[in-house]
Amino acid sequence: MKLTKLIKSGIKNLAINKMRTGLAVLGIVIGIGSVIALVSMGESSKRAVQSQIQSIGSNLLTVSPGFITSGGVRGAIGGAKTLTNDDAEAIKTSPKITTVKNVSPEYSSRAQVIAGRNNTNTQIVGVEPVYAEVRKLTLSLGSFISSQNLTAQSKVAVIGPSVAEDLFGEGVNPVGQTIRISGKNFQIIGMTKSKGGAGMDNQDDRIYVPLTTAQKQLFGVKYLSSIALEAKSESVMTAAQNEVGYLLLERHKLSSPEEADFRIMSQEDILEAASAVTGTFTTLLTGIAAISLLVGGIGIMNIMLMSVTERTREIGLRKALGAKKKVIIYQFLIESIILTFTGGLIGVILGIGGYYLYAKANSATFVITLSSVFLAFFVSVAIGILFGWYPARKASNMNPIEALRYE
Amino acid sequence: MKALDDVSLNIDQGEFVAIMGPSGSGKSTLMHILGALDLPTSGTYFLNGKDVGKLSDDQLADIRNREIGFVFQAYNLLPRTSAINNVMLPMDYASVPEFEQHKRALKMLEKVGLADRLSHSPNKLSGGEQQRVAIARALVMNPSIILADEPTGNIASFQADEIMSIFKQLNDDGHTIVMITHEQDIAEHAKRIIHLLDGKIVEDGNGHKRRIINSNSNHEINKTN
């Protein structure tokens, strides 16, 4: 029997009971739709993490101080004052360090910033000129902190576009303007190009000042909050991590890595840790979606079993007229595949629609991977076969005599 | 209790046989065996020289498709399906090309006088018309035997005569017909009447005259214990 004819008669049979067919399809729509939406959301957050790594630089290592331990209570990472300017200098000059290209000591803290009548609270980052290269920072206006600024402890600042907007309004050139940071006047010499990012990690919501100025004039500290390192290439990242690690252990007079009062993390480590939570969440939700798909499949099986029972006489007749077992199996399998495929089709459309709304609402990247769409169709057909198989087998194994007598 | 016991029977090509008997006499079982829907627990059934008992499920399906045309008491047409599509159904299982199916189904419906009812679905046809569609369906694969199980059981008497005249015409054209019935006047249309009782043949012949079994027959059933 020709496939097109089987499909046509399958559609005709399913159309008889539109309500029942619709409800069975709905189960698959919900399952496939939620799987597609959640997998796509997970994919787009994964891509966001990847592009963030690339924008920050994949050769980047960050040394941060360890935990403050006071009275057995462990504080947050970076709270300790164990990293110093001398540590950074040692990494720069030590002959033991062969794989590090640039060293960027940094001190950052939050402070109140005032310009005219506007004021804002933002992250102040004390940097050396090499910071721009290590952190892949580019300027849209003016120039970055120079070595002269550094030695002279100049009160100059490079501001991020978000801060500029907060203080001066949109589209105003801030270069040359004066701002007050913690009560001291700073002249703006440049503005960074927008990098994006959100929340605590927003790199556009920062003000860069010379490291010496930050440490001595603004915050009065002698330690660093982090040292950024640029490895010579991506392939020597681990070597660089080891070299710097052992050098710092030696300098801090510690004997084993377990005692380290600092951490060295690659950009990937940091972002992986950050995305682990969202990843777990996505997996959990996808799991729930997969369960709803399973329930949808059971619904399909239920409908098909009902249909087989209702059509017992028809099956008996078809067998009496010469239908082989295989043809009966095909007939019912095709019906269940039509159900699940239709459900899959609508589910994919709704899932992508839902994902589009999510992406729009969260200004996340909207990427549809063709593989996930194909996977959804494959899965929906597979569910049709899986859950249609038993009812189809039941139909094909009917005794034609008993089936013809069925009332 | 055996449904059929020591039944030995030959049916020649071109015969018109009526099988009669009270309910429980085994006539349905005999019909199912003749129609390759059921196999005897012992004994043999030869159809056109083939031992049907030795065939696989798929081969039996082929036999039912090509060698046997069923006409049921309840017509058993597919609902919501036009007369012509009902007639085309057996050809689907024989992989007859679509245009050929159409041509043959049309010819058969003309033969049973329903050329003007091609696109009617069963619920728009009278009982007699439905049974005529079923006869056209039974004929469309040009089978060796037409097996009719109480073909007039559900039909008004004036339409029953029409059905019987179609069977007579088919028999005159050379078709072999085996018909189960419990109505004497319907059985009278057949050339040979077999009476069954408690699984045994008690009478075989034209009315009262018992027939000599022809061992060189084409259709042969031989069922013991």
Identify all chain A residues contacting B94, using CB atoms and an 8 Å cutoff: 322
Q: How would residue B214 be classed by pLDDT, with cut points 50, 70 and 90?
A: very low
Give the span between the Cα atoms of B131 and A320, in whole angstroms.
16
Question: Does residue A235 surpass a pLDDT of 90?
Answer: no
Give the span between the Cα atoms of A90 and A109, in whole angstroms.
24
Q: How would residue B55 be classed by pLDDT, with cut points 50, 70 and 90?
A: very high
In which domain, by residue range, is A129 found?
81-260
Q: What is the pLDDT of residue B190?
A: 93
Q: Identify the CATH number of the domain in which residue B176 sits.
A: 3.40.50.300
pLDDT tens for A280-331 read 888 888 888 889 999 999 999 999 999 999 999 999 999 999 999 999 999 9
Q: Are A145 and A214 part of one and the same domain?
A: yes
Identify all chain B residues contacting A2, using CB atoms and an 8 Å cutoff: 92, 95, 98
Amino acid at A100: V
Give the span between the Cα atoms of A348 and A376, in whole angstroms.
7
Report the number of distinct structural domains present in chain B.
2
Report the number of distinct structural domains present in chain A.
2
CA separation (Å) from B121 to A203, A235, A323, B82, B83?
73, 76, 22, 4, 6
Q: Are B36 and B95 part of one and the same domain?
A: no
Identify all chain A residues contacting B38, using CB atoms and an 8 Å cutoff: 401
Q: What angle do CA A67, A70, A73 make, to 5 degrees?
A: 75
Question: Does residue A335 surpass a pLDDT of 90?
Answer: yes
Residues 2-31 of A with CB under 8 A from B: 2, 5, 12, 16
- The predicted model gives A76-105 an average pLDDT of 85
Identify all chain B residues contacting A318, using CB atoms and an 8 Å cutoff: 89, 93
Identify all chain A residues contacting B72, using CB atoms and an 8 Å cutoff: 317, 404
Give the closest residue to B193 by CA, choosing from B153, B220, B180, B12. Answer: B180
Q: Please, what is the average pLDDT of chain A? A: 88
- CA of A396, closest CA in chain B: separation in Å? 11
Q: Are B192 and B222 part of one and the same domain?
A: yes
CB A173 within 8 A of CB A220: no
CB A10 within 8 A of CB A331: yes
Q: What is the pLDDT of residue B72?
A: 94
pLDDT tens for B104-144 read 999 999 999 999 999 999 999 999 999 999 999 999 999 99
- CA of B65, closest CA in chain A: separation in Å? 4
Residue A75 located in a structural domain: no
Residue B73 located in a structural domain: no
pLDDT tens for A19-49 read 999 999 999 999 999 989 888 888 887 777 7
Give the closest residue to A341 by CA, choosing from A40, A2, A21, A18. Answer: A21
The tokens 């190009």 sit on which residue? A193
Q: Where does a domain end: B124, B142, B160? A: B142
Q: Are B129 and B149 part of one and the same domain?
A: no
Amino acid at B119: S
Question: Does residue B223 surpass a pLDDT of 60?
Answer: no
Q: Please, what is the average pLDDT of chain B? A: 89
Q: Does B70 touch chain A (CB under 8 A)?
A: yes
- The predicted model gives A69-97 an average pLDDT of 75
Q: How would residue B218 be classed by pLDDT, with cut points 50, 70 and 90?
A: low
Q: Are A201 and A283 part of one and the same domain?
A: no
Give the span between the Cα atoms of A117 and A307, in whole angstroms.
76
CB B65 within 8 A of CB B94: yes
Give the span between the Cα atoms of A274 and A269, in whole angstroms.
9
Model confidence pTM above 0.80: no
Q: What is the pLDDT of residue B128?
A: 93
Give the ipTM: 0.91
Q: What is the pLDDT of residue B97?
A: 92
Give the span between the Cα atoms of B105 and B133, in whole angstroms.
10
Residue B72 located in a structural domain: no
Q: Are B82 and B122 part of one and the same domain?
A: yes
pLDDT tens for A250-262 read 998 888 888 888 8
Give the span between the Cα atoms of B92 and B140, in whole angstroms.
11
Q: Are B154 and B48 part of one and the same domain?
A: yes
- The predicted model gives A72-81 an average pLDDT of 57
Give the span between the Cα atoms of A300 and A382, in whole angstroms.
12
Q: Where does a domain end: B100, B127, B142? A: B142
Helix (H, G, I), strand (E, B) or coil at B221: strand
Q: Are B87 and B47 part of one and the same domain?
A: no
Q: Where does a domain end: B94, B114, B142? A: B142
In which domain, by residue range, is B109 found?
78-142
The Cβ-side half-sphere exposure at A14, using a 13 Å CA radius, reads: 25
Residues 6+ apart with CB under 8 A from A346: A25, A29, A33
Q: Which letter, b or e, does each residue of A260-295 get, where b requires 16 or more Cβ atoms within 10 Å of its Cβ?
A: ebbbbbbbeebbeeebeeeeeebeebbeebeebbee
Q: Which 3-state string (H, E, C) describes B163-206? A: HHHHHHHHHHCCCEEEEECCCHHHHCCCCEEEEEECCEEEEEEE
Give the span between the Cα atoms of A315 and A328, in whole angstroms.
8
Question: Does residue A187 surpass a pLDDT of 70?
Answer: yes
Query: Which residue of B32, B93, B98 is in closest CB contact with A322?
Result: B93
Q: Are B12 and B99 part of one and the same domain?
A: no
Determine the residue of chain B that is closest to A405 in CA distance: B74
CB A68 within 8 A of CB A79: yes
Residue A268 located in a structural domain: no
Q: Are B224 and B186 part of one and the same domain?
A: yes
Q: Are B147 and B224 part of one and the same domain?
A: yes
The Cβ-side half-sphere exposure at A305, using a 13 Å CA radius, reads: 8
Q: What is the pLDDT of residue A153?
A: 94
Q: Are A377 and A326 part of one and the same domain?
A: yes
Q: Are B109 and B86 part of one and the same domain?
A: yes
The tokens 């369960």 sit on which residue? A291
Q: Are B7 and B84 part of one and the same domain?
A: no
Q: How would residue B217 be classed by pLDDT, with cut points 50, 70 and 90?
A: very low
Q: Where does a domain end: A212, A232, A260? A: A260
Strands (E), A78-217: 100-115, 118-127, 139-142, 156-159, 178-181, 184-192, 206-210
Residue A8 located in a structural domain: yes
Give the closest residue to A41 by CA, choosing from A258, A381, A361, A407. Answer: A361
pLDDT tens for A127-181 read 999 999 888 888 999 999 999 999 999 999 999 998 998 899 888 899 999 999 9
Amino acid at B196: L
